[in-house]
Each structure stands twice: as structure tokens, then as C-alpha cells.
Amino acid sequence: MSVLVMKFGGTSVATLDRIRRAAKRVGREVANGHRVIVIVSAMSGKTNELVGYVNETSPLYDAREYDAVVSSGENVTAGLMALTLQEMDIPARSWQGWQVPVRTTSAHGAARIEEIPDDNIRRKFDEGMKVAVVAGFQGVSPEGRITTLGRGGSDTTAVAFAAAFDAVRCDIYTDVDGVYTTDPRISEKARKLDRIAFEEMLELASLGAKVLQTRSVELAMRYKVKLRVLSSFGEQDDAAGTLVCDEEDIMESKPVSGVAFSRDEAQMTLISVADRPGIAAAIFGPLSDAGVNVDMIVQNISEEGRTDMTFSLPTDQVARAEKALLDARAAGGLDFRDLVSNMDVAKVSVVGIGMRSQSGVASRMFRVLSDEGINIKVITTSEIKISVLIDRKYMELAVQALHDAFELEKAS
């Protein structure tokens, strides 16, 4: 009998009424003959509440106890969902991460799934259980401690279960009805995509689109898990939502599939750095050690024997980056004249697998931004992506102009 994985996000299980609505969707899939594994998030707002309790109790908290507290929200939802299904006469049982077990690394707060043995749940299916309701976001370390996977980790849990159980599909239910060409709140012309390639979704997720967690898309691409994003609140049919799939499953690709953006970007420039072999390692080594995620990098020759190094990073990591670089200079491992940070920037990107076979995307993008009077500070590219750093005040204008220029409101 086939296994189907269904994941419900926080807004989809925010109240008992919404849990009942989600349970009815599960019941329909059981009636269709599937064995169902339901992955649930904590009820909307609960994880933030629990994190607040931890920070108020112990600002310099023990990460192991942090995980013990913040993982409890998913346990509550799993139990309530199982009880609701039982009230519908559907044999269901809740499972916490350690009971499956979802085996992870010991990196508390950011653990990675290493293995999901399927024998416990399959045995219960064979004994008559129809639905396994699993608490998302959590697992168990080799030391036997509860771990969490990082914010949005329930998406990763769902895809990992789909891979472990060779599921026919993994359905991600959320508060949007699919993946759009851009955020509909920015452009009223944004269009829902019927299909999107794994690589495109991975780029969009990493560039700021918050529909799916990046690691969940990586897993789905690696294990060829059919992934569908759809709304908990709309009508459900076979054509609902957006299917995230292999590039080969998409007949024809426009050069650009979507426009992504990120407001939470900062620009940092080291002015007049000694231009010598190993200077990049001297800069980015300390940043890596400090846990700073550097993205776009540009190097410019400023004067003889000196260079300027500019890069982008998340706004909440600026203070950490500044300290790491100033400490490196004080220790004598890095020579630069000044350090300048700009918090008023945003990243805007165009993404599409069609860029591989169609030229002219970069020139059109740059021309559109020029026509709107938008200056580009930093550029970075990949095979299917072009990203630019611009002044944050022009972000929405840039997104709308690019969406129009590439005619993303049209299906083909």
C-alpha cells in the first residue's frame, strides 16, 4: 500500500477548528487508499512564545535545554491531530522524534537528519494504524537528547520521511496556494506556477522566498521526492498548488521563472586592504569562524598594492562580522584602513533554468534597472540566477519592473 506524506504548517493548525479541517484532508487521502504520515508544526505563534520563555529565563541558555523547550509545541499539535483523527474513526497515533526515531547530529538548534528507520511505523501500519502523526522539527542526538532542526525544520522533516518511506508524494500545506513568480504583496501581477524545477525552487528559497525551507528542497532534489506546495484553505484537486519536480518534467522553460528579493541584507566594505596572496582567506576565515554567512563578493583595486573588498551578509550578523574583522586586524593577521557597513540595501534576483539555453537575460535585467534609475552596487551570477544589491528604497520598484520586463504574468 502506498505511503503519502502530508505536512501542515503553523497557520494550518493554528486552532482546533483548523486542525479539524486538516484532519478532514487526511481522511480523504486515507479513503483514497494511502497510508498517511502527517508531519505537523507547532500551532502558529507557539514556537516564538517558547523561544521568548527561554530567552527570558536564560539569555545565555544551554542549547540542549533550548531544544527540549522549543520542540514541545510540535508534540502538542501531534497529539491533538491524532485525537481528532481518532474522533473521526481513523486509526491514528502520534509520534515524537525520539520514538520514530529521527536520528540527527548533535548540533542543537541546527541539527541535521542522518537516518529515519522505517520499521517502527511500518509495523504499526501493518497492525492497522492508518495515520502516523509525527512531530516535525525535532529528532534525537546520538547522546539521546532531543534536537531541533532550525526554524522551518518541519519542511525538512516531511521531505526526509517521504524519502525514507519511498512516498508517492510529499504535500506541503501552508497559507499560500503555491509558488508564485514573485511575492503577490509586491506585484499584483504575480502568477502561481503549476510546476517549478528543484534547482529554481532551491535558488528562490535561498534568496528570500519563504514558501519552503532551503534544506527541504535540497533533500527533495537529492532523493527525487515529488513535492507539492498547496493551501490548507482552498479547494483540493489534482491540479492544486505547485509541483516541485525535475527539470525534465517541465516541457518548456521561459528564461526567467521568478523574481526573488531579500530585505535583510547588509553591505560591508574593507577599504584599502593589502593586496597579497592569501588576503581573501585572511578576511573570510575569521568571518567563517564567527559564523557569518557571506554571499556576494566584489574586489576592486583602489591604489597600488591595495584593494577594496566588498561583500553582502545578513543584517543580523553585521555586528558579529565587524568584531571578527577588527579582532583579526588587532591580532596582526589583517591589514585594512577602514571598515564601512551599509544596512540600507536589498538583494533582488531573477531565477530560471531557461537561462542555460537563452541569452540576453543579464543585459535585459541591467537595462531595466538603468531605465528605472536604480544603481547596482554588487552583482553575482550562477547558471540559473542573477542577483544584484541595490538601495533598499528601490527594492519594490525593481521587483515590479523586472516582473513586467520578463512578462512573468504570462504562462508562456
**Ordered DSSP codes for 11-58:** GGGSSHHHHHHHHHHHHHHHHTT-EEEEEEPPPTTHHHHHHHHHHHH-
- 211 appears as a binding residue in the annotation: yes
**Using alpha carbons only, what angle is made at residue 315 by residues 58 and 340, rounded to the nearest 5 degrees?**
120
- 24 appears as a binding residue in the annotation: no
* Measured distance CA(352)–CA(350) in Å, rounded: 7
120-129, 134-143, 315-324: least confidently modelled range: 315-324
| 80 part of a folded domain | yes
Q: Which of 26, 35, 3, 25 is nearest to 163 (CA)?
A: 3
Top-confidence residue, 229 or 152: 229
| 281 part of a folded domain | no
Q: Which of 16, 15, 14, 40 is nearest to 26 (CA)?
A: 40
pLDDT of residue 59: 85
Q: Over the stretch 343-369, which tens digit does the pLDDT of each residue have?
A: 999 999 999 988 888 889 999 999 999
- 124 appears as a binding residue in the annotation: no
> pLDDT > 70: what percent of the chain?
96
Q: Over the stretch 290-324, which tens digit does the pLDDT of each residue have?
A: 889 898 998 887 667 788 999 999 998 999 999 99
Please tell me what DSSP assigns to residue 99. Answer: G
* Measured distance CA(242)–CA(178) in Å, rounded: 5
- 292 appears as a binding residue in the annotation: no
Q: How many CB atoms lie within 10 A of CB 260?
A: 22
| 219 part of a folded domain | no
- 180 appears as a binding residue in the annotation: yes
- 128 appears as a binding residue in the annotation: no
Q: Which element (helix H / strand E) includes 200?
A: helix 198-206
Q: What is this structure's pTM? A: 0.81
- 10 appears as a binding residue in the annotation: yes
The yes-or-no verdict on residue 157 having pLDDT over 60 is yes
Domain holding 151: CATH number?
3.40.1160.10
Q: 384 CB contacts (<8 Å, ≥6 apart)? A: 199, 200, 203, 351, 352, 353, 355, 356
The yes-or-no verdict on residue 170 having pLDDT over 70 is yes
The 10 Å CB-count burial string (b at 16+, else e) for 74-110 is bbbbbbbbbebbeeeebebbbbbbbebbbbbeeebbe
- 74 appears as a binding residue in the annotation: yes
- 174 appears as a binding residue in the annotation: yes
| 46 part of a folded domain | yes
* Measured distance CA(148)–CA(341) in Å, rounded: 33
- 224 appears as a binding residue in the annotation: no
Domain tally for the chain?
Answer: 1
The yes-or-no verdict on residue 402 having pLDDT over 70 is yes
| 65 part of a folded domain | yes
3-state secondary structure of 387: strand
pLDDT of residue 333: 85
Q: Which element (helix H / strand E) includes 351?
A: strand 338-351
Bridge partners, 242 (sequence order):
229
Q: Which of 107, 212, 106, 227 is nearest to 161 (CA)?
A: 227
Q: Which domain holds residue 157?
A: 3-175
The cell numbers describing 48, all together, are 516564538
60-69, 171-180, 346-355, 390-399: least confidently modelled range: 171-180
- 181 appears as a binding residue in the annotation: no
Which amino acid, residue 137?
A: F
Locate cell 575569521: which residue? 286
| 367 part of a folded domain | no
- 7 appears as a binding residue in the annotation: yes
| 359 part of a folded domain | no
The cell numbers describing 340, all together, are 564601512
| 15 part of a folded domain | yes
Q: 171 CB contacts (<8 Å, ≥6 apart)? A: 4, 5, 6, 7, 228, 230, 241
The cell numbers describing 36, all together, are 498517511
CA 226 to chain centre: 17
pLDDT of residue 151: 81
